[in-house]
């Protein structure tokens, strides 16, 4: 699995995609105050599939529960619908944007774990307990079995920063071409 740093970075990207545009009449400070709860929710949602490590830590077997049912698309849809309902009920966010925010964050986490190799993820649970992994490994992944402190973690962070730099660079180039095409 990728490091929490990578999952949080992708959560931040999801936030940037779904956050509302700042109204012209709104100050920067009030805009950021209004969007901080959205950022916090997105970051939490981007880490939510890893909650399955808690029972593993409690029973002393990290791998027993990790990348199992919480890495299922069905669970992701259910949690996203629940988050959408909370958003609508509390007035925090409309159902559809809250649902999409949760779904994007959740599915990106699953995709990242799927693209890391290792034993794979249970994408189709509860219909199948089979584990799936991508034939193309985008991430080196954290090797918790090597211990908390190991040089493998340095390689993980380095490879994730390289991939993140490539994605951000491509995004900046795409935005520049978009603005050029729009005549800005």
* pLDDT tens-digit readout, 80-118: 999 889 888 887 778 888 898 889 899 999 999 998 877
Vertex 9, ends 54 and 182: CA angle to 5°? 150
Give domain status of residue 146, yes or no.
no
Q: Indicate whether 108 belongs to any domain.
A: yes
Tell whether 182 is covered by a domain.
no
**74 occurs within a structural domain:** yes
pLDDT tens column, 127-159: 999 999 999 888 777 766 666 676 777 778 788
More confident residue, 83 or 60: 83
| Angle CA 107–118–41, to nearest 5 | 25
Tokens 């958003």 belong to residue: 87
Residue 156 in domain: no
For residue 12, how far is the Cα from the chain centroid?
Answer: 8
**Does 20 fall in a domain?**
yes
Domain interval for residue 108? 4-139
What 8-state DSSP symbol labels residue 21? P
pLDDT of residue 32: 81
The model's pLDDT over 166-182, given as tens digits with 9 standing for 90+, comes to 877 787 787 788 777 77
Q: Model-level pTM?
A: 0.79
Q: What is the DSSP letter of 144?
A: G
Tell whether 46 is covered by a domain: yes
Count of the separate structural domains present in the chain = 1
Give the DSSP H/E element, type plus range, for residue 53: helix 53-59
Which residue from 142, 139, 141 is spatially nearest to 164, judged by alpha carbons?
139
Q: Is the separation of the CB atoms in 100 and 77 below 8 Å?
A: no
Residue 179 belongs to some domain of the structure: no
């Amino acid at each position: 699995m990728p490091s929490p740093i990578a999952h949080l970075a992708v959560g931040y990207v999801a936030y940037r995609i779904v956050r509302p545009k700042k109204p012209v009449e709104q100050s920067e400070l009030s805009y950021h105050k209004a969007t901080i709860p959205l950022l916090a929710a997105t970051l939490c949602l981007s880490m939510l599939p890893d909650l399955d490590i808690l029972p593993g830590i409690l029973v002393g077997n990290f791998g027993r529960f990790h990348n199992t049912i919480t890495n299922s698309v069905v669970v992701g849809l259910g949690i996203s619908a629940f988050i959408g309902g909370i958003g609508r009920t509390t007035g925090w966010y409309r159902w559809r944007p809250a649902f999409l925010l949760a779904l994007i964050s959740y599915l990106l986490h699953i995709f990242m774990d799927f693209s890391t190799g290792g034993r794979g993820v249970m994408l189709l649970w509860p219909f199948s307990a089979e584990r799936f992994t991508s034939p193309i490994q985008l991430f080196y992944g954290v090797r918790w079995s090597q211990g908390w402190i190991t040089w493998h973690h340095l390689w993980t962070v380095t490879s994730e920063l390289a991939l993140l730099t490539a994605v951000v660079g491509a995004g900046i180039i795409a935005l520049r071409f978009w603005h050029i095409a729009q005549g800005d």
